[in-house]
Structure 1
């Protein structure tokens, strides 16, 4: 057994010690990808290979806090029922001995290639004294990966106004017979940017250009870039660190969003328009997309946030992925909606129509901690209206979604949501006559899709088991034109 396989075996054994304990914990999610034990962050290598979806993730198998990064791995036939697989990558070589950082996957000649960042800490300041290179691992079966002898395939930062330490998160794709990848970077004076590379074979890479660079309040480092085409335009998704709050925007520690434009593949320059946030809640970072065999562009993000309180760490695990979301382009904005395959989890529908709400009301059969809620609300005379979920009358716990018609705002308040960091997030939303809502509640998460994916708000919440109430409220009458509530089955063993 080679050194890499030895490290993988050791890491798998560590995860196996805790997985049964984690599985039975009250905050363990039922239909979201989570680690079997210990730490998870960024989605990596999201891909479709040999008829199945593969999702890898940043994983520290030895502790529920961030540490030397491995790649955890799950696969699925339907984006709903995920199977945990052995750890795919572990630090084992001189070039990645302190971590196999984020990256992506692509199929070539019937094999699955992972391209990732090898990280090495050098004595000194953690944020400055590090060496980052890009490496490749290959698999015939999509499960067992071997690091290639040519690694690292990109060993040095290009010349120019490019920070020599921060150089990571390759996202690879194929265009007109050539392979391309984008890398997260920053300038020497700490402005976020993205680098573009080209290759004929995934092994020999040439630097093309600084593809895009931030201006103004655009952060000091652009992590996890992802470039893809949609409706004849290119979309650059990235996670800028250090964007300062502006009004109701950018109140998380780091952001995740996108710009839309055109990439000139000859010059390597990307001309783009304004920056938009992808998820307006508390917990969403480092999203990655892929195209499946149906031609759909599907996105998954890390459903947590750096340096926030994670109450599950006390119980041996932390981190989760969002549900998979289909991305579409409408009116020069990205809309994101849950994949329809999630409907397979529905059971025990409770249905209401034409219900008038004034004051505060609960509806029989509409409650729970693992459910989907789909609603159409006629706003009528109300100026503020909304709903409270994960309510417990005894402990006064609740997570509150409020629509403010006067200011055109939707407000997500988890100040009383139980354990965890609390806080309030606000964003503008089209105050159309009929608001649509699709809400997914899991044991310690809430994901809210507004107006068919116009806005999304995701949050981790950590209430007591008893917090299962749902109530609706309005200052003047609103009408729930239709409401379906389904309990959702457990999807991940």
Structure 2
């Protein structure tokens, strides 16, 4: 759950922007040009962290931090939506509203939801199990955070607060974001929760979701300059075999805004041990917007599907604020540097693309690009800024290759997505198109990445106000927010030096399905 320590980081970045950009914006002006078409947004009002992801009866359930009253942070409650394909969403009523009593305000901060199949809690039956939500109760008047549970007997539409709340209370101000799963080997529920200022993840165990015992602590480890939030611990298969390793995800602030790191190791039902003994910082996403990601653990075919919140940054959108990333399929892959977490746009989304968009295959393959740019708009069925492209470059002797996105008609402003072969880096360059929207520090976003046999692969997801780039099949990911002008819809491909565009495919999204 995003709180003050990350806001400080964001404010520090905003102070580097021109004053008129930050302080001269008008609020409550509709911005339909920036509403994404295939990334999730609420119908209206503020949204931040995803919470309580579960899959039931063919539907993916998404709860999210939501202010149902205003388009700013506050009145924290759990919004709710469901989808069968992770693109088309049905908006539902607020599932867990804030609790207001005479003496206390309780905001419903981030957490998780589980299907209690064995009725360990007694809130349902084995035939008709309850869905149990586990979340942080933030009580600002008492300056305290504790862990609450609530249960649903109507498929997650509404919840009843447990009369024995809180189920965990250690009388701390910053103690939040429980993620709960069933650990079959030890026949217990396991919770990870953030000890924010200590840079630790506390691990609890429970037989019934009501009584929790401390099992162990993980951390401090990795990056510790800012407080830790939104921990999650999950088993992931290593590609090419049956080996399973455990991955710990942690969110925090950084000098450039939000940051997520991950640790790879083993979990024995009591403690998590990092393979690198906490000495290595592994970055999950190299952008300046991705935060608080958690996963669907129970998706079909045992998929682990990660979903993160993309922060708006300096610009206002209306009547909504905040969007989710594209869902990412997770796997582990062994490379020369060891195991790395692979994130690719979810196959659940990819297999239904043609139903939501007009597919346009560019049949010209092995296009030689010799120190120039080639306009691609004539190849596109639409001219908007909601599209998805996949490309493969043979670097040859090119120093850089890539695409100019959201380019204005006189070709003076754009956002570049490319690969720097000299320095072996994937990058997003917003130094012309986003100069008034980002701090100088964030106008160039970089991720170290090596070519594979002289070839690099890119998946570029442009969705009106978001940009997500996946390099080499998800080995590196950069997510950011962009705010192009209405006429900045050009797309071109470029090379500095001589390179070959081996393959290109574009899906242009229509308005709706």
* TM-score, with structure 1 as normaliser: 0.85
Q: In 1, are the aligned partners of 2:259 and 2:288 still within 8 Å (CA)? A: no
Give the direction of change, closer, same or farther, for the CA distance of 1:104–1:340 in structure 2 (3 Å limit): same
Q: 3-state SS of the aligned residue for 2:384?
A: coil
2:353 is aligned with 1:349: no
How big is each residue's C-alpha offset from its partner over 1:68-107, in whole Å with a ceiling of 9 and x where there is no partner?
A: 2111111111222111111111111569724110001110
Larger displacement relative to structure 2 (139-148 or 323-332): 139-148
Residue 115 of structure 1: aligned partner: 134
Are 1:237 and 2:245 an aligned pair? no
What is the aligned partner in structure 2 of residue 261 from structure 1? 265
Q: How many angstroms does 1:172 deviate by?
A: 0.1
Residues 215 and 230 from structure 1, CA distance in 2 versus in 1: closer, same or farther, beyond 3 angstroms? closer
* 374, 379, 384: which one aligns with 2:390: 374
Is 1:289 paired with 2:310? no
Out of 470, 480, 495, the residue aligned to residue 474 of structure 1 is: 495
- CA distance in 2: counterparts of 1:107 and 1:196, whole angstroms: 20
2:464 maps to 443
Matches within 5 A, 1:144-159: 144-157=158-171
Q: 1:137 to 1:310 in 2, by over 3 A?
A: farther
Task: Measure the CA separation in 2 of the matches of 1:202 and 1:22.
Answer: 45
Q: Helix, strand or coil for the counterpart of 1:309?
A: coil
Distance of aligned partners of 1:220 and 1:441 in 2 relative to their CA distance in 1, 3 Å threshold: closer
Shift of 1:470: 0.9
For 1:180, the equivalent position in structure 2 comes to 190
- Larger CA deviation: 397-406 vs 169-178: 397-406
Instruction: Give secondary structure in 2 for the equivalent of 1:342.
Output: helix
After superposing on structure 2, the runs of 4+ consecutive aligned residues of structure 1 that deviate more than 4 Å are 21-24, 93-96
Indicate the residue corresponding to 1:103 in structure 2: 111
Q: 1:260-308 CA deviation, whole Å, 9 max, x = no partner?
A: 0112324x35334233111111210000012202210100000116xx3
- Cα shift at 1:252: 2.6
Query: CA separation of 1:99/1:205 partners in 2, compared to 1, >3 Å: closer, same or farther?
Result: same
Superposition RMSD in Å: 2.1
1:73 aligns with 2:80: yes
Matched, 1:310 2:308: no
Q: Distance in 1 between matches of 2:252 and 2:147?
A: 20
Residue by residue over 1:319-363, the C-alpha shift from the partner in whole angstroms, topping out at 9 and shown as x without a partner, is 000011100100111101111233423314131311111212113
Q: Distance in 1 between matches of 2:104 and 2:32?
A: 34
Assess if the C-alpha contact under 8 Å between 1:192 and 1:240 holds in 2. no
Provide the TM-score with structure 2 as the length reference.
Answer: 0.82
- Aligned partners of 1:298 and 1:325 also within 8 Å: yes
Question: In the TM superposition, what is the alpha-carbon distance from 1:395 to its structure 2 partner?
Answer: 7.9
SS at match of 2:62: strand
**2:245 aligned with 1:228, yes or no?**
no
Give yes or no for contact 1:23–1:36 (8 Å, CA) kept in 2.
no
CA, structure 1 residues 324+87, in 2 after alignment: closer, same or farther (shift >3 Å)? Answer: same
Post-superposition offset of 1:22 = 9.1
Deviation at 1:253, TM superposition (A): 1.8
Structure 1: unaligned runs, 5 residues or longer: 1-20, 123-128, 158-163, 244-250
Other-structure match for 1:362: 375
Matches of 2:97 and 2:495 in 1, distance apart? 53
For 1:23 and 1:75, the matched residues in 2 are separated by 25
1:429 maps onto 2:449 in alignment: yes
Does the aligned pair in 2 maintain the 1:311–1:420 contact within 8 Å?
Answer: no
Structure 2 gaps, min length 5: 1-27, 118-128, 238-243
Larger mean Cα displacement after TM superposition, 133-142 or 343-352: 343-352
Name the count of aligned residue pairs.
443
Q: Give the CA deviation at 1:150.
A: 1.6
Q: Which of 26, 39, 45 in structure 1 is aligned with 2:46?
A: 39
Q: Secondary structure at the match of 1:463?
A: coil
**Residues 385, 293 of structure 1: alpha-carbon distance in 2 compared, 3 angstrom cutoff:** closer
SS of the equivalent of 1:281 reads: coil
For 2:506, the equivalent position in structure 1 comes to: 485
Q: Secondary structure at the match of 1:372?
A: strand
State the shift of 1:311 in Å: 2.5
